Amino acid sequence: MMTKNQAKYIQSLSHKKFRDEEGVFVAEGTKTVAELLELSHMRPRQVYGLESWWQLHPEWQSANWAVMITEAELEKISFLKTPNQVLAVFEKPDLTVEPGGWQLVLDGIQDPGNMGTIIRIADWFGIQQIICSEDAADAFNPKVVQSTMASIGRVEIIYTDLVAYVKAHAHRDFIAATLDGTPLKELKIHQPAALVIGNESKGIRPELREVLRHFVTIPRKGAAESLNAAVATGIILAGMVE
């Protein structure tokens, strides 16, 4: 049974301010929640599931964070148009990645769907750390979390001043995705490196581009003006990551 205060609390987590204050995020859906619960470092505050979901996961029914709710209650708290059996409130993961591996650097990525998909792509290629500009979409926005399909629990997300970050890590190769860079198949870099992806419409901001030395492009054969940021990320990583 869910209380009114619990419902109000969950609804407040649609706002970044409250998520940051509480250090939590919301995840929804049968596969996403189950996968996050299976990660030993993930700490659930509350998991609100329908009876049908708990029957599929009897190993968690007796946990002190387990709450059985009705479909009507789930509809009140869900951020999805079509609620999917379970909603969970997790503490944000405390991930610390060893330096030196592959990275993604995201400059002003704004669309939650793009952000979530890029996090999922990073996870696919074994990239455990993403460095974001301070104005990028919040990785723990419910829409972003939904798009990551539980990869949010395996990838460290850091928000910082990217110009300062690149200057402080000048020993690394930062490869920026642009329309006028070296064709992907011709690119020669030191492994591992960091791939820089710019804003969906404006690309990489001028002040960041000034401190970058390496640029890559996906050769265009058709008439499309540009590629979706997440799609471009996946194509370039497929060509670079060994």
In tens, the pLDDT along 115-174 reads: 999 999 999 999 999 999 999 999 999 999 999 999 999 999 999 999 999 999 999 999
Three-state DSSP state, 150 = coil
pLDDT, position 191: 80
The CATH number linked to 175 is: 3.40.1280.10
Q: What is the pTM of this model?
A: 0.94
Strands 86-91 and 44-49: antiparallel
- Residue at 98 is within a domain: no
Section 40-52 average pLDDT: 97
CATH number, domain containing residue 79: 3.30.1330.30
Establish if 96 belongs to a structural domain: no
Indicate whether 226 pLDDT > 90.
no
Average pLDDT over residues 67-77: 96
pLDDT of 204: 97
In a domain, 159, yes or no: yes
Quick one: 86 and 168 in the same domain? no
Decide if pLDDT at 68 tops 80. Answer: yes
Q: Which two tokens stand for residue 238?
A: 């497929």
Q: Are residues 120 and 220 in the same domain?
A: yes
Residue 50's pLDDT band (boundaries 50, 70, 90)?
Answer: very high
The answer to whether 179 touches 218, Cβ cutoff 8 Å, is no
115 and 148 inside one domain: yes
- Give residue 115's identity as a one-letter amino acid code: M
What was the pLDDT predicted at 184?
Answer: 94
pLDDT reading at 242 higher than 80: no
Same domain, 44 and 127: no
Using omega within 30 degrees of 0 as the cis cutoff, is the peptide bond preceding 192 cis?
yes
Asked if 32 and 154 count as a contact pair (C-beta separation under 8 A), the reply is: no
CB 218 within 8 A of CB 232: yes
pLDDT of residue 189: 82
Q: Which of 91, 115, 145 is the last residue of a domain?
A: 91
Share of the chain above pLDDT 90, in %: 90
Query: Is there a single domain that holds both residue 42 and residue 110?
Result: no
Cβ–Cβ under 8 Å, residues 126 and 103: no
Question: Is residue 60 pLDDT above 90, yes or no?
Answer: yes
Instruction: Please state at what angle helix 112-124 crosses helix 229-240, rounded to 10 degrees.
Output: 10
Helix (H) or strand (E) holding 177: strand 174-183
> What does DSSP assign to residue 40?
T
- State residue 210's pLDDT score: 97
Tell me the pLDDT band of 203, cut-offs 50, 70 and 90: very high
What pLDDT band is residue 98 in, cutting at 50, 70 and 90? confident
Domain extent, residue 71, equals 4-91
Average pLDDT, the chain: 95
In a domain, 97, yes or no: no
The domain boundary residue, chosen from 91, 125, 150? 91
Q: Is the pLDDT at 96 greater than 90, yes or no?
A: no
pLDDT computed for residue 188 by the predictor: 86
Quote the tokens at residue 4. Answer: 């009114």
Strands 24-28 vs 86-91: parallel, antiparallel or unpaired: antiparallel
User: Are residues 177 and 140 both part of a single domain?
Assistant: yes
Same domain, 114 and 207: yes
pLDDT bracket for residue 97 (50, 70, 90): confident
107 domain-assigned: yes
| Three-class DSSP category at 51 | helix
- Domain total in the chain: 2
Q: Both ends of the chain: CA-CA distance in Å?
A: 50
